[in-house]
Homo-oligomer: A and B are copies of this chain.
């Protein structure tokens, strides 16, 4: 008697999930704990694990199992599970091993050289390596496009945001471009007349950490299922059962670090809230990069920078960092809503951030579709930064087109996730506010249950059961609608 195929697929993907657990913990350790001389052995061990995971996903036996599982009687959850397993399997099997290896090598070389080239403002040097990364990324995109039938750029974007297409993104971003520059200008005019007190440091690292821990508690982080540590680049890592978030502290500024913790706590609660009984299968994992970002931005932007929330945590700031007028809730609100166009995406405020993303989306899309070449990037960058943010980046590659790590290893198609996430978050909160018209007064008194309960049942517990558009429709009753994002920004900055 032949064994059914679906359970055999579950077994294979459960093994993969356990390998992914080890990769996640080793990766977290590398960033947060490992001393320098440990790196060579760690890199070799993690590369070996990557090879093993690739072998697991390219096992020739899987093809037959996927074919057979199609005609087996499956529950709706199993059908979704099969779809998600197939997606991971296809992504791993569409590309020839030689291309995967060549891109990995070219990406490592380009990224490694970039670390010093960025400091040296050396665009020409970067270009030598980057041309090869672009060439191989286009080849990758072509393979994916040939099979899936979508355009080359869309095929790459689908690796991060399955179901989204660039025509839709362009339509949404064109809408944003029609009102964002005016909103930025009006906000800056309004804020020009406001007095904002800067908090006076130094702020002891231990006190900042204790404050962060307490705010994570307010935000419902489960410390029996996760940790807070320190790394150079803050991230949310680990595994759903044991989420490891990191931050970095500066003793002359607590503002960035505290909101960074709120942001990563959003990622963390998504992971902690995923359905545990599906944790071992792709269908039980987070839906996409855009949805993940919608959780961190629900926490950071919708909740964290909300005046009602700042009213709630102002006493905690004073408790840990001492009394000073800058820590009054109203002033914290001003600190956390200050708008000022700048060079750097990761330092950007809520309002100017989308402009950084739209610029990158437009450039990388044209680059992958073959409409421009790598050497055309700086001129386009300068033009768009001036048009969208009024910032002059000519000759300043370091703080211009050399600032991000994403392109150095060929991660094209990732950038839109950031702003899609911000828009999803605004749409969720519009829905929550309809159900709870008194949301802000609840938040101010520490009753965050309306937010957590809604996210828990509508997003976290849904994992990857639905495509992104379907998930958003089921949660909010409509497709992604940028009007919510615009209304949120207008209310917060001009309201």
Contact between A37 and B279 (Cβ–Cβ < 8 Å)?
A: no
Q: How far is A242 from B38 in the complex, measured between Cα atoms in Å?
A: 5
Q: How far is the CB of A378 from chain B (nearest CB, A)?
A: 32
Contact between A239 and B38 (Cβ–Cβ < 8 Å)?
A: yes
Contact between A45 and B22 (Cβ–Cβ < 8 Å)?
A: yes
Contact of A45 among B18, B34, B38 (CB under 8 A): B18
For residue A19, CB closer than 8 A to chain B, the reply is yes
Stretch of A25-33, A68-76, A292-300, A368-376 contacting B (4+ beta carbons < 8 Å)? A25-33
The secondary-structure label for the interface of chain A is helix
Give the nearest-CB partner of A244 in chain B.
B33
Contact between B15 and A48 (Cβ–Cβ < 8 Å)?
A: yes
Which residues of the other chain, B, contact A44 by a CB distance below 8 angstroms?
18, 21
Contact between B279 and A35 (Cβ–Cβ < 8 Å)?
A: no
What per-residue 1/0 map shows which CB atoms of A29-57 lie under 8 Å from chain B?
Answer: 10001111110111011001100100000
We find that the number of chain A residues with CB closer than 8 angstroms to chain B is 34
For residue A226, CB closer than 8 A to chain B, the reply is yes
Give the nearest-CB partner of A41 in chain B.
B241
For residue A320, CB closer than 8 A to chain B, the reply is no
For residue A225, CB closer than 8 A to chain B, the reply is yes
For residue A436, CB closer than 8 A to chain B, the reply is no
Q: How far is A132 from B74 in the complex, measured between Cα atoms in Å?
A: 37
Q: How far is the CB of A12 from chain B (nearest CB, A)?
A: 12
Give the nearest-CB partner of A36 in chain B.
B224
Contact between A41 and B26 (Cβ–Cβ < 8 Å)?
A: no
What per-residue 1/0 map shows which CB atoms of A181-214 lie under 8 Å from chain B?
Answer: 0000000000000000000000000000000000
Contact between A25 and B29 (Cβ–Cβ < 8 Å)?
A: yes
Residues of A whose CB lies within 8 Å of any CB of B are 15, 18-19, 21-22, 25-26, 29, 33-38, 40-42, 44-45, 48-49, 52, 222-227, 238-242, 279
